[in-house]
Chains A and B, each alone.
Chain A
Amino acid sequence: MTDSTPPAAPARDPLWLRLLPHPLISLVILAAWLVLDGNLTPANVLLGAFLAWALPRMTRRFWRHPVHVRSWTGLVRFAIIVIWDIITANLQAVRLLLKSPQELKPAFFVIHLELTNPVAITVLANTITLTPGTVSADLSSRQERLLVHGLHVPDVEAAIAQIKARYEAPLKEIF
């Protein structure tokens, strides 16, 4: 049970964190349960709370690295940027699709990551894929480079610089 955590951690953690090792995951499970069932009777809330406590505890071997968000305002701002980019990039992708496929300039390019946190790298790769026009294709085995394929990349260096400035820099502050 304690083999996955460093030895000093049980003494330092407050009681509630030992009972509820992953508060964020618990919160998400509770919210999903309540939305899925759609009613707020006490019995239902109690069952949801039990699941929110039990499921992260049962799967605790799986969650080696606790998710730690340093800046919530940064996370909200990042989410707004990503949603905005999804919409604009979709419209741009539609314009590209209506042209002839021969005019597109596809490209593979490699992003040298400055992030080291696995959660942050996951979020970055998912963000790159979620915005149409770029797909993250592979992560190098030492998690330092990300291979990205772009649908229409007239200027590879500019695309790399844009991803680094727009997504990686905020993520470095959030996680």
Chain B
Amino acid sequence: MNSELPFLVELIVSAFILTGAGFAVIGALGLARMPDFYMRVHLPTAGTTLGVGCTLIASVIYFSFSLQTLSLHEFLISMFLFITAPVSSHMMAKVALHTGVRYVSHTQGRPWPSRTQRPSRDNSQILTEWPKRP
């Protein structure tokens, strides 16, 4: 870590790093506190989008100043995360609906029955053997 960066740059980079870490902690705190899975699945998207996003912006600024060239690797990582984070969240919510994860009683509205399990498929026997939560 070289220390000849201008003070303002260091200030901005530090602010972005701490903001990102703060979002990550708040997201993880929510993950530990929320009562059911469907409420918890919202939180990693918050941690991913702004938490890692801010850290990556800080990294772009830091390396662009310390190496005197525009550093673009981080943009690739953040683009990748921004594209993949909603896909994995959607998949996990779908898995929860499929395996019958329960939701808190004051949830408004009801999900429709999962359609992923098709009786015509060969592997349906495997799926029906899985224990469902009481």
A interface residues with partner B (beta carbon < 8 Å):
32, 35-36, 38, 86-87, 90, 93-94, 97-98, 101-102, 104-110, 125-130, 132-138, 140-141, 147, 149, 151, 153, 156
What separation, in Å, do the CA atoms of A137 and B95 have in the docked complex?
9
A136 near B42 with CB under 8 A, answer no
> How long is the Cα–Cα vector from A71 to B53 in the complex, in angstroms?
28
Q: Which residue of A lies closest to B107 (CB)?
A: A106
Chain B interface secondary structure, helix, strand, loop or mixed?
A: helix
Nearest CB on B from A62, distance (A): 16
Pick from B30, B50, B112: contact of A87, CB below 8 A: B50
Interchain CB contact under 8 A, A101 and B90: no
A residues near B38, Cβ cutoff 8 Å: 106, 108, 135, 137, 149
**A-contact 0/1 string along B80-115, CB 8 Å cutoff:** 001101110110011011000001101111111011
A106 near B39 (CB under 8 angstroms)? yes
**Known contacts A36-B76, A90-B46, A132-B49: A138-B112 contact under CB 8 Å:** yes
Residues A107 and B46 in contact, CB atoms below 8 Å apart? no
- Asked if B34 and A107 sit within 8 Å, CB to CB, the answer is no
A135 touches B90 (CB 8 A): yes
Which residues of the other chain, B, contact A134 by a CB distance below 8 angstroms?
42
Known contacts A97-B30, A149-B93; 13 further A-B pairs (Cβ under 8 A): A90-B46, A102-B35, A106-B104, A107-B107, A108-B110, A109-B108, A110-B109, A126-B90, A130-B86, A135-B41, A135-B42, A135-B90, A149-B42
Residue from B27, B41, B76, B108 in contact with A108 in the complex, judged by beta carbons closer than 8 Å: B108
Partner pick for A97 among B29, B72, B93, B96, CB 8 A cutoff: B29
Contact of B112 among A35, A126, A132, A140 (CB under 8 A): A140
Of B33, B76, B90, B108, which is within 8 A of A106 by CB?
B108
Q: Are A101 and B34 in contact (CB under 8 A)?
A: yes
Complex: how many Å from CA A85 to CA B130?
39
Residues from chain A with a CB closer than 8 A to the CB of B132 are none
Chain A residue nearest to B51 in the complex (CB): A90
Complex Cα gap A151–B103 (Å): 12
Closest to B94 in A: A138
Q: Is B93 within 8 A of A110, CB to CB?
A: no
For residue B82, which residues in chain A have a CB less than 8 angstroms away from its CB?
A: 130
* A105/B108 contact (C-beta < 8 A), A36-B76, A38-B72, A130-B85 known: yes
Q: B41-59 interface mask toward A, CB cutoff 8 Å, 1 = contact, 0 = none?
A: 1110110011000000000
User: Smallest CB–CB gap between A155 and chain B, Å?
Assistant: 10
In the assembly, what is the distance between CA of A23 and CA of B83, in Å?
20
Do A133 and B42 touch across chains, with their CB atoms under 8 A apart?
yes
Interface flag for B26 (CB, 8 Å): yes
* Chain A residues, CB < 8 A from B75: 35
